[in-house]
Amino acid sequence: MSGIGRYRDQYHSQGCELGFCRGGGCVVKARSLVFDLFGDYLRYRGGEVRLRDLIALMGCFGVPETTVRVVATRLRGEGWLESRRDGRATTYRLSEDAWRLLNVGRERIFDRAVGPWDGQWHMVIYSVPEADRALRDQLRKKLSWLGFGQLAPSVWVSPHDRLAQVQDDLTERDPVRLDVFHSRSRGPEADRELAARAWDLEALNRGYLEWLERYQPRLDGYRNGALAGRDALEERMRLVHDYRLFPFRDPDLPPELLPSDWLGRAAHEVFLRAHDLLRAPAEVHVDELLGFTPGPVVAPAGENVSGK
């Protein structure tokens, strides 16, 4: 399975669920919570955590100790976590594959395409044997994650040139035939019509409206320090989990292809602002739980610190 598909499945797979959604929002899975704690906090605090400290952090979200131990053991068995013994204590860190996977997802959540669109469409036509349904489903997930929209049963299009990424992870053994094209339509009106056929922009925009109605009114409270300690940590985690659903569905289309009342960019700006406003009080609580003294930001080797 591709790295993108594997990242997506971390948040949509079967697993231990925990409900810490006071005030509305999603139900967060314990395994995804581990990834988010590393992504938002632990990567800037040496990139590793003792088991007892992981238990304390996840206890903030109502995850019992037994569940933390089971999840950590499973993630290690699946190759996402590595561990070492320090006396009687166990210390965990993400594997290299997990760090790469985490960065793929964070880039999609925090970054947006910039610059003018060149007006060119990029098309993928695929053929997968009927017997290989699992491979076909993985390919569709990957195309969707990369921002392609389904124009016909086996025809996907995107205004972004990500054809090389589509072909990544496919080997000569995979029974997949891909034909890729670059093309232009008759003009702006045809471009907008094509976008409306390939993506359900109306449903996506309604989702953004609901999200904005939930979080935009909270910005003043975040700015004025209404939340501190555990409340700030919970709220920031809930913010990320509620927003994370959109990059799986939003193709990040250029403005030329979007309806005039599009709310995606506004929602992204509110998300970035809220995430930043909650950072300091949430980090104070994490540091208290870990007994960590803040210093220069040090991320694991090969990792960037963007999206903090």
DSSP assignment string, 63-86: --HHHHHHHHHHHHHTTSEEEEEE
Q: Strands 17-18, 121-127: parallel, antiparallel or unpaired by DSSP?
A: unpaired
Whether 53 contacts 298, CB under 8 Å: no
Whether 274 contacts 243, CB under 8 Å: no
**Confidence at residue 26, expressed as pLDDT on a 0 to 100 scale:** 47
Q: Would you tell me which CATH number, out of the four given (2.60.40.10, 3.90.1150.10, 1.10.3370.10, 1.10.10.10), belongs to the domain 3-107?
A: 1.10.10.10
> At CA 73, angle to CA 27 and CA 41, rounded to 5?
55
Whether 222 contacts 176, CB under 8 Å: no
Round the CA-based radius of gyration of the chain to a whole number and report it.
21
Tens of pLDDT, residue by residue over 269-289, are 999 999 999 999 999 999 999
Indicate the length of the chain as a whole number.
308
Other C-beta atoms closer than 10 Å to the C-beta of 197 total 13
Tens of pLDDT, residue by residue over 67-92, are 999 999 999 999 999 999 988 899 99
Question: What is the residue type of 191?
Answer: D
Whether 89 contacts 53, CB under 8 Å: no
CA–CA separation, 70 vs 77, rounded Å?
11
b/e per residue 265-281 (b: at least 16 CB within 10 A): eebbebbeebbebbbeb
Per residue of the chain (308 residues), give pLDDT as tens: 444 445 455 544 433 444 444 444 445 688 889 999 999 999 999 999 999 999 999 999 999 999 999 999 999 999 999 999 988 899 999 999 999 888 888 888 898 888 889 999 999 999 888 888 888 888 888 888 888 999 998 999 999 998 888 877 666 557 888 888 999 999 999 999 999 999 999 999 999 999 999 999 999 999 999 999 999 999 999 999 999 889 888 999 999 999 999 999 999 999 999 999 999 999 999 999 998 776 655 455 444 444 55
| Tokens, residue 227 | 């939340």
**Confidence at residue 16, expressed as pLDDT on a 0 to 100 scale:** 40
The CA-atom distances, in angstroms, between 6 and each of 10, 80, 102, 188, 271 are 6, 11, 10, 36, 24
Q: Which residue has the tokens 């290299």?
A: 96
**Confidence at residue 91, expressed as pLDDT on a 0 to 100 scale:** 96
**Confidence at residue 29, expressed as pLDDT on a 0 to 100 scale:** 82
Does CATH place domain 121-183 in 3.30.70.240? yes
| Tokens, residue 294 | 């803040």
CA–CA separation, 9 vs 101, rounded Å?
11
CA–CA separation, 306 vs 308, rounded Å?
6
Whether 294 contacts 279, CB under 8 Å: no
List of residues 6+ apart from 153 with CB closer than 8 A = none
| Tokens, residue 44 | 């800037």
Whether 246 contacts 194, CB under 8 Å: no
